[in-house]
């Protein structure tokens, strides 16, 4: 009998879903819903790097996506739906009450940004992250060693502490903390009381300083030393975590009826979107998957023996089983990639934004810049930019550094600026790969996935030229949703392992970009200038 699974992928702007035939990986239906409150710019302040999302956006989008999928399936196909998996951005935590309800769902907190989910790119917790780093370095256990040696303001504990400190009303009601990727499966299965939540190994290990070697999350003694306001929070988080090939539980009767799903649908453990995307794109031992969008996330899995117990400094985490059980999952990435290009687009179109025809003016500007930039010569003396427009994630996290351009003159054109920004994002990618290789992580293949990999041949060719390695493009346009569908199918027992689910459900490779040998020498020289410029900006 045909078995169908649903993969739900919560991104920065929207929720996307696919219904997949487990035997072939064929997408039977797909649907996207954009968050209505987020689209209006509510609860955010880009000037202070504050980005919050309302849980109602997540719930409403889920309902719209599931119902949209079901409308495109036959009745027999609907009845063949057997499992559902969910990935989300991360770290995107929220404070909850003692029942596990996100505070923003309570009437008194409905419009309070501090009661909402804190999106991954929110940087309001820089002070708290620094305090965590200072304390960890002098504690008997350095809880940051699995996080590259530096804890980030983008992550679980720094964000939670910032919320608790900055809002007394929220603090008085806060009982526990939950990641978005844990809350969605918990909601659908009715397992949302804080002590009962099945928490994701992926999110806990990469974002929450969880590790089996020290018994789970940081000790209560550490958290209380960090700030007494965290007293009691350790006991409300289970020390056990689960990999994404395991079940969270069965969908509740009320949610199956509300969504129109069969009553026996199983829900798998949540996972962070980039890690799910890596699975859907075909990650395997020593392969790097680059999820390329507004930011980038670089995921690598490697065998235990390759690291021999070593901790790699300067990355965003190494966690046993965070991507594929049986391998160490490594995460790195850039805080801004496509966002850098969007910044230039917005700067160039500022004067026409108030015009009625603004959409026709601004819509194709990046494609026009790409066309012009591709026709420019590449020289050792070209202007240089760096990619730290939203801080630096890796190598060696530093959210306070800024982006920059050098070599401007009165003859500089928009296409030349765009070219330098594209090269800067590619140089940042090269720096990450070189760092991993220097740390002894073998990378034999790079796979690109995400919007930019599919839509911008110019960016992808420059990326291949500068990284000096062929880059394959995953065919799956919804790699995150496909990857989490593979996890759900495995958790349901339809496959023995995630790797076997990948083999059965893979959608293959769309194409490949190969480095152009004639530019190798020039880009090596420009890369040295990029590193010198970065060193100058960090002084």
Q: What is the model's pLDDT at position 354?
A: 63
Cα–Cα distance measured from residue 53 to residue 35, given in angstroms and rounded to the nearest whole number? 9
Measured CA distances, 26 to 6, 75, 132, 185, 485 (Å): 12, 18, 45, 24, 11
pTM for the full predicted model: 0.92
> Would you state the structure tokens that stand for residue 453, as one six-digit string?
């990999």
Three-state SS sequence of 206-227: HHCCCEHHHCECCCHHHHHHHC
For the chain (length 539 residues), average pLDDT per consecutive 10?
91 96 93 97 92 98 98 96 97 97 98 97 94 97 94 96 97 98 98 95 97 96 98 94 98 98 97 96 94 92 88 92 95 94 91 62 82 96 95 90 96 97 98 95 92 94 97 93 98 97 94 97 98 94
Q: Which of 494, 446, 436, 496 is nearest to 470 (CA)?
A: 446
**Given this structure, which CATH class describes domain 280-474+508-539?**
alpha beta
Q: What is the model's pLDDT at position 53?
A: 98
Domain extents in the chain: 4-269, 280-474+508-539
3-state secondary structure of 158: helix
Say which CATH topology domain 4-269 has. Answer: Nucleotidyltransferase; domain 5 (3.30.420)
Q: Which of 408, 411, 410 is nearest to 384 (CA)?
A: 408
- What residues contact residue 339 under an 8 Å CB cut-off, 6+ apart? 294, 295, 389, 390
Q: Please list, residue by residue across 331-359, b when 16 or more beta carbons sit within 10 angstroms of its beta carbon and e when fewer do.
A: bbbbbbbbbbbeebbeebeeeeeeeeeee
Beta bridge partners of 18: 7, 30
CA dihedral 206, 334, 54, 450 (to 10 degrees): -100
3-state secondary structure of 276: helix
* Identical fold between 4-269 and 280-474+508-539: yes
Q: How many residues does the chain have?
A: 539
């Amino acid at each position: 009998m045909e078995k169908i699974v649903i993969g739900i992928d919560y991104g920065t702007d929207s929720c996307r879903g696919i219904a997949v035939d487990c035997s072939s990986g064929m997408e039977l239906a797909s649907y996207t819903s954009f968050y209505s409150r987020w689209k209006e710019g509510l609860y955010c302040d880009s000037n202070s790097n504050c980005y919050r999302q309302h849980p109602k956006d997540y719930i409403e989008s889920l309902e719209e996506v599931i119902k949209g999928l079901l409308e495109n399936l036959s009745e027999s196909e609907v009845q063949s739906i057997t499992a559902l998996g969910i990935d989300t951005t991360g770290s995107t935590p929220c404070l909850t009450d003692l029942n596990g309800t996100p505070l923003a769902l309570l009437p008194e907190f409905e419009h309070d940004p501090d009661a909402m989910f804190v999106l991954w790119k929110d940087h309001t917790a820089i002070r708290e992250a620094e305090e965590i780093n200072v304390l960890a370095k002098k504690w008997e256990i350095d809880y940051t060693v699995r996080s590259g040696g530096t804890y980030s303001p983008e992550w679980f504990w720094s964000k939670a502490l910032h919320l608790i400190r900055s809002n007394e009303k929220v603090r008085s009601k806060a009982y526990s903390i939950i990641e978005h990727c844990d809350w969605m499966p918990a909601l659908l299965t009715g397992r949302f009381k804080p002590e009962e939540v099945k928490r994701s190994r992926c999110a806990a290990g990469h974002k929450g300083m969880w590790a089996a070697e020290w018994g789970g999350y940081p000790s209560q003694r550490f958290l209380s030393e960090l700030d007494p306001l965290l007293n009691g929070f350790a006991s409300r988080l289970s020390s056990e975590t689960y990999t994404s090939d395991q079940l969270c539980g069965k969908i509740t009767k009320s949610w199956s009826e509300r969504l129109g799903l069969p009553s026996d649908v199983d829900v798998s453990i949540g996972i962070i979107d980039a890690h799910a995307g890596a699975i859907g794109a075909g990650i395997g031992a020593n392969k790097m998957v680059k999820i390329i969008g507004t930011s980038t996330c670089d995921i690598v899995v490697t065998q235990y023996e390759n690291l021999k117990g070593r901790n790699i400094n300067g990355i965003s985490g190494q966690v046993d089983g965070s991507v594929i059980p049986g391998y160490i999952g490594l995460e790195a990435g850039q805080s801004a990639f496509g966002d850098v290009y969007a910044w230039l687009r917005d700067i160039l179109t500022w004067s026409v934004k108030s015009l009625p025809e603004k959409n026709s003016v601004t819509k194709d500007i990046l494609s026009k810049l790409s066309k012009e930039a591709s026709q420019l010569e590449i020289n050792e003396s070209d202007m240089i930019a760096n990619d730290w427009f939203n801080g630096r994630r890796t190598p060696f996290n530093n959210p306070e550094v800024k982006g920059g351009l050098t070599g401007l003159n009165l003859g500089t054109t928009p296409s030349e600026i765009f070219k330098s920004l594209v090269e800067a994002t590619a140089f940042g990618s090269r720096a990450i790969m070189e760092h991993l290789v220097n740390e002894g992580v073998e990378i034999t293949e790079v796979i690109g996935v995400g919007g930019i990999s599919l839509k911008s041949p110019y960016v992808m060719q420059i990326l291949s030229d500068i990284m000096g390695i062929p880059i394959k493009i995953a065919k799956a346009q919804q790699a995150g949703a496909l990857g989490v569908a593979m996890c759900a199918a495995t958790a349901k027992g339809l496959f023995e392992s995630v790797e076997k689910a990948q083999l059965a459900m893979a959608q293959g490779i769309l194409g490949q970009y190969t480095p152009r040998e004639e530019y190798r020498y020039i880009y090596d020289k420009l890369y040295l200038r990029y590193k010198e410029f970065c060193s100058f900006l960090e002084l």
